[in-house]
Each structure stands twice: as structure tokens, then as C-alpha cells.
Structure 1
């Protein structure tokens, strides 16, 4: 099994580096268009999605694929890769250097390995969580990472997404930041930079790669929706399913923060 995991890490590193090299040449130079859900897409997203799917089919022909741009239905395979070719497409198209490529490897519908590469930042995260015959661990540029032990305070940072501004209606115990990339918002919790992060409407490709990394680094992942996120369901179309999420540096802060962000996971009131 160790040989398998060595091949998985090597593959993820190689293919995201290859994709990143080309994307850097297109960074800030491409036009974006709106998709049906209001998010943006560029030709770079579509190229990267295709390149990653083809690479996985060659290296792991018995593995399934779920991707943001093409493959939305969860396949009937034990192993499945979940692809976000460019997380932070708005940043990418506007020249803001916080974007990356995310890969999550699921076993029986649950992420056990994540790999996320941010070319402009020179940062590459990966991690294992409850992977078969593989120790848990989280890393940035091959160096182990861990969440912060600090208590919430006015000098600690917490990340929001653009759709989670409703938390500002109440006093908040941390300094707030907004970065424009769901995976980076969440991963800097794992890295010990922020004490927490919330994402209001991430899709499965936004979170599959970071889910194992955050928990392996010592963090807590809290779904703000009533139903559990994993395992995924064979045959379900995940193109329009959102997973409001709270990530925290420590389990002990869950009771303090959940009441502050619960409204993010609730449907809007109707008149």
C-alpha cells in the first residue's frame, strides 16, 4: 500500500506542477464568463480540467473522476478523484495571486488524501486523513503543519467568503479577512495562520482536497447544513449542491463560533 501512496503523491505533485506552469503564463490575461450558478469560468479552467482528467485516466484507469467543469455525477468506484482546476477563478482572471489547483482522492465516498497547489504563492499543501494503511499527516511544501492552539481574541484572524458577510451583523471575536479562494481560506487554518474560516456555498470540488488536510493538521470541520457531507452518493449529480462549512483550529472553539455563523447554513426566509 505504501507504493500506492507514493505513486499518488508523485502523480499529484507532477500533474499540478505541469498545470500550474501553463496557468502562470495565462494568469491575469484571460477573459472570464459567467456560468449558470453565477461563478466564473475561463478557457484556462476548461483546459486544466481536461488535462487533469486525462492524466488521471492514464495513471489510474480504475479510478473515477468528479470535476467542476465536466464530470458532476459521482461514479460507482471505490476510488474517485475530485478536481477543482482553478480554485479562485475570479482572482486568476483579475490578476490577484491567490488561486490554485485542488485534487481530492476519495475512498468509498470519503476524502482520504488532498493535494492543493498555489503556483503564484509557491505553496503546495497535501495531507492524509484516515487513509487505508497510511499515517495521518498534513504538510506545506513537505513541512508538517499544525493548527493554532491560541484562544479566540481580537488579534487572531478569521477568514470569510464573499457570501458569508451576514456574520458582520453581530460582534465577532477576531479580525476578519477575505481572500477569494475557498481552498486557501480553509487551508490557512490548517497552516496555523488563522483561527478559523467559513464558506457559505462551496461545492464538493472546493472542499474535497482540503477536508483531509485540515483534520490531519488538528483542525475541526463543521458542516453548517443538516445533512453530513460524506460519504458521497453513487449516481448523484453534485453540480448544484453546496456545503456551508466552518473550519476551526481546535474542537474546543466549536461552541463559541457555531452560533455566530449558523445563519450561513440556513435557507433564506420567504415572505
Structure 2
């Protein structure tokens, strides 16, 4: 964890949250999927180049986070041979997961979503 000093701005806080979340998510992915390559919003590719690519944005909506509008999320996309096979969005403010998996549909938490 980190400590926020009274004089630090929300911009600095958002950078700390972004970096901490990115490290945490990357460690989980690297430990569970060592044959995947990873790309963050502000960093280049990391990991073993292969068939799989995970793109991670641990704080999508940074500016809204900074001005305390609760419209931000964690966004993860998994690609296989450059085709999207999984998309995950976690809305921490509402504690909701949105998941779309190729060939299996999309869900809000465990509830299937239907398109009109």
C-alpha cells in the first residue's frame, strides 16, 4: 500500500493507484500465464512473445478518477493470434464485472447479457 500525504494531488494519487494496480494485475497474469505477452497503456510489451497478448489498463478513466467522478474501471483484453478472445471490465465503484468471451457470450457478473 502507499501513503497519501495531505499535499499530494489527486493526479499523483491516480498515478500511484494506476502503477500499483498494474503491478498487481501483471504479477497475477505472469504467474498464471507465463507464455503470454503483456502490454500496458504507458509501457511497451513485456513477457514472452508468442500466440497470446494481454492488454491491461488498470485505471481506465484516469481523469474522472482524479476529479472524483466514479466512472472508471479496470480493463483487460486477451488476444490469441491478434484476435480478441476475452474482454473484462471491472467497475470497482459498483463492484461489477463485465465479461465477454468469444463463442460464449457476455455477462454482467454471472447474469448473461442479451443484445437487441
For Structure 1 versus Structure 2, the TM-score category normalised by the shorter chain is: 0.7 to 0.9
Separation of aligned partners in 2, 1:54 and 1:47: 11
**Is the Cα–Cα contact under 8 Å of residues 52 and 81 in structure 2 kept in the other structure?**
yes
Provide the rounded CA distance (Å) in 2 between the counterparts of 1:66 and 1:142. 27
Query: Aligned to 1:118, which of 84, 91, 101?
Result: 91
Distance 1:95 1:111, change over 3 A: same
Instruction: Report the equivalent of 2:113.
Output: 145
Alignment partner of 1:55 is 2:32: no
| Structure 2 CA distance for partners of 1:30 and 1:81, relative to 1, 3 Å | farther
Residue 20 of structure 2 aligns to a residue whose secondary structure is helix
1:76-122 alpha-carbon deviations (Å, 9 max, x no partner): 31111110110111111111111110111110111101111001022
Greater alpha carbon shift after TM alignment, 102-111 vs 68-77: 68-77
SS in 2 for 1:98: coil
Larger radius of gyration: 1
* Contact map agreement 1:66 1:81 (CA 8 A) in 2: yes
Relative to structure 1, the CA distance from residue 101 to residue 30 in structure 2 (aligned partners, 3 Å threshold; closer, same or farther) is farther
Question: For each residue in 1:230-263, what CA deviation from the matched residue of structure 2 results, as whole angstroms up to 9, or x when unmatched?
Answer: xxxxxxxxxxxxxxxxxxxxxxxxxxxxxxxxxx
Once the 2 structures are TM-superposed, how far is the Cα of residue 30 of structure 1 from its aligned partner? 5.3
Structure with a larger share of its residues in helix: 1
Contact 2:87 2:100 in 1 (8 A): yes
SS at match of 1:121: coil
State the alpha-carbon separation in 1 of the partners of residues 95 and 20 from structure 2.
Answer: 21
2:82 corresponds, among 104, 109, 121, to 109
Q: Supply the distance in 2 between the matched residues of 1:107 and 1:99 (Cα, whole angstroms).
A: 26
Greater relative contact order (Cα 8 A, min sep 6): structure 1 or 2? Answer: 1
Give the TM-score of the pair, scaled to structure 1: 0.37
For this pair of structures, how many residues does the alignment match?
Answer: 110
Unaligned regions of 5+ residues in structure 1, if any?
Answer: 1-21, 34-40, 130-134, 150-271
Pairwise CA RMSD: 2.4
- Any unmatched runs of 5+ in structure 2? none
Matches within 5 A, 1:1-271: 31-32=10-11, 42-72=15-45, 76-129=49-102, 135-147=103-115, 149=116
Query: Residues of 2 paired with 1:74 and 1:110: CA distance?
Result: 19
For the residue of structure 2 that corresponds to 1:114, the secondary structure is strand
Given that 2:74 and 2:89 are in contact with CA atoms closer than 8 Å, whether structure 1 keeps it comes out as yes
Q: Pick closer, same or farther for the CA change 1:67–1:102 going to 2, 3 Å.
A: same
SS in structure 2 of the partner of residue 66 of structure 1: strand
